């Protein structure tokens, strides 16, 4: 029996090889041992799927990157008199571009393939995004009106919402914006675009899941190759022509339209989540190289363009190197994903903290823009260096969002899902 145990878990080929050497009883025990080990492995994989520590770390990183990226909006939205503010806006903003792609990759990792009927998946997922989106969008649209109610000058709105170039404190404008929430967003709700996109991903995921579940990795890889071709569209439409591959006044859906967008990140997260056999040192080094290669392109391109144009003049051109679905940002997201995948945390206390942050991350995303403007206004008189100001803003905003979201879960558990997801 010791000989059997030392053999480890081999497969059907080895069972066939041993069949003529072992007695029926020994062969039976050997097969039982294989099933036990395989069952333990499957159970472990299921447990890891429900609580993957490195995914919690990745989610925290992505959330902090979102807050940091938005904390420099004030330096990027309008031309800066202080050249250093413009530099830091481009430098820090470019560092944070993988934030939303990382969220999309985690969605693919955790939800694909879907293990329930499409209708049930929609009922569980979409309301937890749609209802908070409606509530918080309405809150954001009421803030400019409220600044007028309390007697603040309209100019304060440009600090609170840097990408709103036509601020208004009129009640009628607030109501008009609220009425349009199901259809669009604007500079007051600049970060809500992600939720419209996320609902779209949820709608298509059951269809993707059907062939992902077949474990047809060749088909998935082929789709990702086509998606990689679509990543060049932001550059080609700006450098060559906006009407490419059949796009024209009566057709907005070109050749690669059907492979474009965040669906590639879903599948990329699903594929990479399976892990790879390379040593951690090589993976981390590879991840760092990918990230910095993508960053150099992102920063160089954006900083060059922002020195010549403003967002109000040419937003599409400025976003060419900041597009989330562009080769350079994919490299950055891929590098972080691969490196963080090798993070291991043994402390149960830290694991619990990360789990709590994970639970509060969606609520923090929803409300962080409310706190950004006031914190930036409060720090401005201190005359702090821009990098230090950004760091303090991120930490304070994150702490406030975490605290408020946790309080909602604690004191209003029955309605928390409709407020913070």
Give tens-digit pLDDT for 256-284.
Answer: 888 888 999 999 998 888 777 778 889 89
- Give the 3-state secondary structure of residue 211: helix
Average pLDDT over residues 209-237: 83
For residues 20 and 64, what is the distance between their CA atoms, to the nearest angstrom?
61
- Give the 3-state secondary structure of residue 220: helix
Task: Tell me: pLDDT of 131 over 90.
Answer: yes
Q: Any residues with CB less than 8 A from the CB of 374 and at least 6 apart, and which?
A: 160
Task: Name beta bridge partners: 251.
Answer: 248
Instruction: Return the structure tokens found at 215.
Output: 């474990």
Average pLDDT over residues 310-317: 82
Sign of CA dihedral 394, 399, 401, 402: positive
> Of 194 and 252, which is predicted with more confidence?
194
3-state helix, strand, coil in the chain (%, to 5): 70, 0, 25
pLDDT of 81: 67
Task: Name beta bridge partners: 248.
Answer: 251
Task: Tell me: pLDDT of 402 over 90.
Answer: yes
Task: Tell me: pLDDT of 332 over 90.
Answer: yes
pLDDT of 133: 96
pLDDT of 240: 87
Q: How high is the mean pLDDT of the chain?
A: 85
- Give the 3-state secondary structure of residue 200: helix
Q: Any residues with CB less than 8 A from the CB of 95 and at least 6 apart, and which?
A: 65, 68, 295, 299
Sort 414 into a burial class: Cβ within 10 Å, 0-12 / 13-18 / 19+.
Answer: exposed
Task: Tell me: pLDDT of 324 over 90.
Answer: yes
Average pLDDT over residues 294-321: 89
For residues 108 and 271, what is the distance between their CA atoms, to the nearest angstrom?
9
In sequence order, which ranges of 23-154 are alpha helices (DSSP H)? 24-50, 53-71, 73-76, 83-95, 99-111, 118-149
Task: Tell me: pLDDT of 190 over 60.
Answer: yes
For residues 303 and 250, what is the distance between their CA atoms, to the nearest angstrom?
35
Residue 197 sits at the vertex; the CA angle it makes with 206 and 126, to the nearest 5 degrees, is 55
Predicted structure pTM score: 0.84
For residues 32 and 44, what is the distance between their CA atoms, to the nearest angstrom?
18
- Residue pLDDT, tens place only, 21-44: 544 444 444 434 443 334 333 333
- Bond preceding residue 375 cis, omega within 30 of 0: no
pLDDT of 235: 87
> Of 45 and 272, which is predicted with more confidence?
272
Average pLDDT over residues 228-237: 88
Average pLDDT over residues 44-54: 57
Task: Tell me: pLDDT of 94 over 80.
Answer: yes
Q: Using pLDDT thresholds of 50, 70 and 90, give the confidence band for residue 215.
A: low
Average pLDDT over residues 11-20: 44
For residues 205 and 221, what is the distance between their CA atoms, to the nearest angstrom?
17
Task: Tell me: pLDDT of 9 over 90.
Answer: no
> Of 18 and 68, which is predicted with more confidence?
68
Comparing CA positions, the residue from 185, 188, 191, 192 lying closest to residue 157 is 188
Identify the weakest region by mean pLDDT among 19-23, 58-62, 156-160: 19-23
For residues 226 and 263, what is the distance between their CA atoms, to the nearest angstrom?
11
For residues 421 and 415, what is the distance between their CA atoms, to the nearest angstrom?
9
CB 267 within 8 A of CB 230: no
φ/ψ region of 111 (left if φ > 0, alpha if ψ in -120 to 50, else beta) reads: alpha
pLDDT of 4: 38
> Of 394 and 74, which is predicted with more confidence?
394
Average pLDDT over residues 68-82: 84
pLDDT of 17: 43
> Of 252 and 62, which is predicted with more confidence?
62
- Residue pLDDT, tens place only, 349-390: 999 989 988 889 999 999 999 999 999 999 988 989 999 999
Identify the weakest region by mean pLDDT among 92-106, 123-137, 154-168, 323-337: 154-168
pLDDT of 44: 36
Task: Tell me: pLDDT of 69 over 90.
Answer: yes
């Amino acid at each position: 029996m010791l000989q059997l145990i030392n053999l480890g878990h081999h497969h059907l080929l080895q069972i066939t090889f041993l069949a003529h050497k072992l007695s029926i009883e020994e062969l039976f025990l050997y097969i039982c041992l294989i099933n036990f080990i395989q069952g333990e492995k499957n159970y472990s994989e299921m447990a890891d799927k429900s609580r993957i520590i490195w995914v919690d770390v990745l989610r925290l990183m992505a959330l902090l990157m979102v807050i940091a990226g938005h904390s420099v909006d004030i330096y990027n939205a309008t031309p800066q008199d202080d050249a250093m503010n413009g530099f830091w806006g481009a430098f820090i903003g470019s560092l944070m571009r993988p934030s939303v792609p990382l969220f999309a990759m985690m969605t693919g990792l955790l939800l694909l393939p879907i293990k329930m009927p499409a209708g049930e998946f929609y009922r569980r997922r979409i309301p937890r995004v749609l209802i908070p989106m409606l509530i918080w969008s309405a809150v954001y649209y009421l803030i400019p009106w409220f600044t007028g109610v309390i007697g603040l000058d309209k100019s304060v709105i440009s600090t609170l919402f840097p990408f709103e170039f036509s601020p208004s404190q009129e009640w009628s404008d607030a109501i008009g914006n609220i009425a349009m929430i199901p259809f669009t967003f604007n500079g007051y709700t600049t970060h809500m675009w992600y939720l419209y996109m996320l609902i779209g991903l949820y709608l298509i995921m059951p269809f993707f899941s059907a062939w992902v579940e077949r474990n047809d990795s060749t088909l998935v890889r082929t789709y990702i190759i086509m998606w990689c071709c679509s990543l060049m569209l932001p550059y080609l439409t700006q450098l060559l022509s906006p009407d490419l591959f059949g796009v024209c006044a009566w057709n907005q859906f070109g050749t690669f339209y059907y492979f474009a967008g965040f669906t590639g990140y879903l599948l990329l997260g699903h594929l990479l989540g399976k892990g790879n056999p390379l040593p951690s040192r090589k993976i981390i080094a590879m991840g760092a190289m990918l990230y910095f290669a993508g960053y150099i392109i992102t920063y160089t391109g954006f900083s060059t363009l922002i020195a010549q144009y403003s967002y109000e003049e040419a937003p599409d051109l400025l976003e060419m190197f900041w597009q989330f679905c562009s080769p350079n940002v994919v490299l950055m997201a891929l590098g972080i994903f691969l490196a963080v995948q090798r993070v291991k945390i043994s402390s149960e206390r830290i694991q619990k903290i990360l789990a709590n942050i994970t639970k509060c991350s969606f609520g923090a995303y929803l409300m962080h823009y409310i706190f950004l403007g006031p914190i930036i206004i409060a720090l401005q008189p201190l005359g702090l260096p821009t990098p230090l100001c950004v760091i303090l803003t991120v930490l304070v905003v994150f702490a406030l969002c975490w605290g408020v979201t946790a309080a909602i879960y604690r004191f209003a558990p029955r309605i928390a899902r409709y407020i913070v997801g």
